[in-house]
Structure 1
Amino acid sequence: MLPLLETLPPGADAFDFFPGHWTVRHRRLDRRLAGCQDWTEFPGRTVVERILGGLGNIDDNTLDIPGRPYRAATVRKFDTASGLWSIWWYDARYPGLEPPVHGRFENGVGTFLGDDVFEGRPIKVRFIWSGITAKTARWEQAFSEDGGESWETNWIMDFERTA
């Protein structure tokens, strides 16, 4: 059994801004990796709680996409050995967790990278956290088909704290 940490290691506090209740403005690219320029905007809500004594957090999301609302969750865990955060997405419409992305915050911006498959082809996935204040934050997701040489941003979430 691992001991409880009295103080968190450097980097473990990167998501300390996030616990609480948020409204979310979603912008989602209508078709990914298809040269599409059309976006759908819709509201949502997110509730975030710390877990693992501060070495992780979990959020519960309500996505009010027109005609197809759904729920999803994110689990984040800090690795004290590597100093990296791992992030997993779980979409209630599908079985299983998405493959994780891994990364850290530098100069107020969090960059997280991972490998996945989209429509049968391998891709790189990038999450970027930025614009973090006591009341706001922004998350962006991008895909790359060329090993990270170029990126297509396909989802943006602007968070505003409600509690």
Structure 2
Amino acid sequence: MTASPPLQTRRDAITVGLIASVLVAGRAEAAPADHDPSQGLTGGPDDWAFLVGRWNVRHRRLKKRLVGDTEWEDFAGTCVNWPLMEGLGNVDDNVLELPGGTYRGVGVRAFNPETRQWSIWWIDSRLGGMDPPVRGGFKDGVGVFIGADTYQGRPIIMRFRWTEVTATTAKWDQAFSPDGGKTWETNWLMQFTRAPA
């Protein structure tokens, strides 16, 4: 029997662990429909084809959230994304070089053919757990994904957006709403540039 390449073995192990975690984690409450900009956004299995591969990432993160802070910190990172289940899912392995220390995170996405929406989960290596999912889709090249969460014990609505997608670049941002989606504070920006092959 031929041994699998190390990267493929690592990917297989990550995939099995992630699928098991997602199945155990269950589903979080959806965001209130009256303030949910992801309502009506749908997609398909090819939505994330642009993200497959290796990326260099420039991060810009608000130092303090939901307190009116205006001080940002900048740092570097990388992202490697690969598809699963013939496009019905994908995973990315992220390295985040925070000023206080480097850590890893994994993004897991799964497509629901019935609702035609994507669910996205985030796993942080520092916490050993999975965040509640955000759900949504794409329209006119913009992806919007919303979900209920908490921040420091406070209920929030979390939003991920993907914009400015090209073959070699993409932009992602994260925002929190403490008032059910009436107002949003953007607290994290990521600028993706495709890494040389």
For Structure 1 versus Structure 2, the TM-score category normalised by the shorter chain is: over 0.9
Q: Could you tell me which amino acid in structure 1 is paired with residue 56 of structure 2? A: T
Q: Residue 46 of structure 1 corresponds to which residue in structure 2?
A: 79
1:73 to 90, 96, 106: 106
1:13 to 46, 50, 62: 46
Q: Deviations over 1:50-103 (max 9, x none)?
A: 011211110000001113110000000111110000000000000210000000
State the alpha-carbon separation in 2 of the partners of residues 97 and 52 from structure 1.
21
- Structure 1 residue 121 corresponds to structure 2 residue 154: yes
Q: Which runs of 5+ in 2 are unaligned?
A: 1-42
Q: Could you tell me which amino acid in structure 2 is paired with residue 16 of structure 1? A: A
1:137 to 160, 166, 170: 170
- Structure 1 residue 151 corresponds to structure 2 residue 190: no
> Normalised by the size of structure 1, how large is the TM-score?
0.93
Q: Residue 7 of structure 1 corresponds to which residue in structure 2?
A: none
Q: Could you tell me which amino acid in structure 1 is paired with residue 192 of structure 2? A: F
State the alpha-carbon separation in 2 of the partners of residues 96 and 70 from structure 1.
14
- Structure 1 residue 36 corresponds to structure 2 residue 49: no
1:109 to 142, 146, 151: 142
Q: Could you tell me which amino acid in structure 2 is paired with residue 118 of structure 1? A: Y
Match of 2:135, SS? strand
- Structure 1 residue 85 corresponds to structure 2 residue 118: yes
Q: Could you tell me which amino acid in structure 2 is paired with residue 96 of structure 1? A: G
Does the aligned pair in 2 maintain the 1:12–1:83 contact within 8 Å?
A: no
State the alpha-carbon separation in 1 of the partners of residues 150 and 128 from structure 2.
15
Query: Could you list the runs of 4 or more consecutive aligned residues of structure 1 that deviate by over 3 angstroms after TM superposition?
Result: none
Q: Deviations over 1:128-154 (max 9, x none)?
A: 000000000011000000000000000
Which structure's residues are more often helix, by fraction? Answer: 2
Q: Residue 17 of structure 2 corresponds to which residue in structure 1?
A: none
Q: CA deviation at 1:12?
A: 1.8
Q: Could you tell me which amino acid in structure 2 is paired with residue 110 of structure 1? A: G
State the alpha-carbon separation in 2 of the partners of residues 74 and 67 from structure 1.
22
User: Over the residues paired in the alignment, what is the CA RMSD in angstroms?
Assistant: 0.8
Q: Could you tell me which amino acid in structure 2 is paired with residue 35 of structure 1? A: G
Q: Residue 6 of structure 1 corresponds to which residue in structure 2?
A: none
State the alpha-carbon separation in 1 of the partners of residues 46 and 159 from structure 2.
21
